[in-house]
Amino acid sequence: MSSMTEVELVLYCIIALIILENLFEVYIALRQVKVFKTSNKVPEELKAHMSNETFHKARKYGLDREQFGVCKCLFMDICVIPLELYFGLMAYMWQAALNWVNYFKLNADNEIIVSCFFVVLISLHGYLKDLPFKLYGTFVLEQKHGFNKQTARFFIWDQIKGLLVGNILTVLVSAAVVFIVQWGGEHFFIYLWVFAGVLSLILLTIYPIFIAPLFDKYTPLEEGELRKSIEGLAASLKFPLTKLYVVEGSKRSSHSNAYFYGLWNSKRIVLFDTLLLNKGKKDITDLKDEDKGKGCTNEEVLAVLGHELGHWKLGHVTKNIIIMQINLLLIFFNFNTLFKYAPFYEAVGFTPGVKPILVGLFVILSYVMAPYNALLGYAMTILSRRFEYQADEFAQKLGFSEKLCQALIKLNLDNLGFPIHDWLYSSWSHSHPTLLQRMHRLQELDEADKKKK
187 is in an annotated binding site: no
49 is in an annotated binding site: no
Lowest mean pLDDT among 266-280, 295-309, 332-346, 374-388: 266-280
pLDDT at 284: 66
pLDDT at residue 110 is higher than 50: yes
In angstroms, the CA 15 to CA 28 distance is: 20
Query: What are the residues facing 272 on neighbouring strands?
Result: 247
Q: Please, which pLDDT band fits residue 2 given cuts at 50, 70 and 90? A: very low
Strands 241-247 and 258-261, sheet pairing:
unpaired
Closest CA to 268 of 322, 221, 198, 324: 221
pLDDT at 1: 45
Q: Which residue would you say has higher pLDDT here, 77 or 267?
A: 77
In angstroms, the CA 1 to CA 343 distance is: 9
Task: Show which residues are catalytic.
Answer: 308, 392
pLDDT at residue 285 is higher than 80: no
Residue 20's identity, in one-letter code, is L
What is the rounded average pLDDT of the residues 232-249?
87
pLDDT at 258: 78
Q: Which residue would you say has higher pLDDT here, 428 or 253?
A: 428
pLDDT at 53: 94
Q: Which residue would you say has higher pLDDT here, 246 or 288?
A: 246
pLDDT at 3: 47
| Displacement of CA 397 from its chain's centroid (Å) | 29
pLDDT at 209: 78
Q: Which residues contact 223 (CB under 8 A, 6 or more apart)?
A: none
pLDDT at 264: 65
Q: DSSP secondary structure string, 82-116?
A: HHHHHTTHHHHHHHHHHHHHHHTT--TT-HHHHHH
What is the rounded average pLDDT of the residues 307-336?
92
Q: What is the pLDDT of residues 419-452, one digit of tens each?
A: 999 999 999 999 999 999 999 999 999 998 888 7
Q: Please, which pLDDT band fits residue 259 given cuts at 50, 70 and 90? A: confident
Residue 221, SS3 per DSSP: coil
| Displacement of CA 121 from its chain's centroid (Å) | 23
pLDDT at residue 377 is higher than 70: yes
307 is in an annotated binding site: yes
Lowest mean pLDDT among 238-242, 288-292, 357-361, 432-436: 288-292
pLDDT at 253: 66
Catalogue all structural domains in the chain, each as residue range(s) with its CATH number. 216-295 (3.30.2010.10)
CA distances from 147 to 156, 253, 283 (A): 18, 5, 22
Q: Please, which pLDDT band fits residue 300 given cuts at 50, 70 and 90? A: very high
Other Cβ atoms closer than 10 A to 201: 13
In angstroms, the CA 309 to CA 268 distance is: 11
Q: Please, which pLDDT band fits residue 255 given cuts at 50, 70 and 90? A: low
In angstroms, the CA 226 to CA 17 distance is: 51
Average pLDDT of the residues of the chain? 90
pLDDT at residue 210 is higher than 90: no
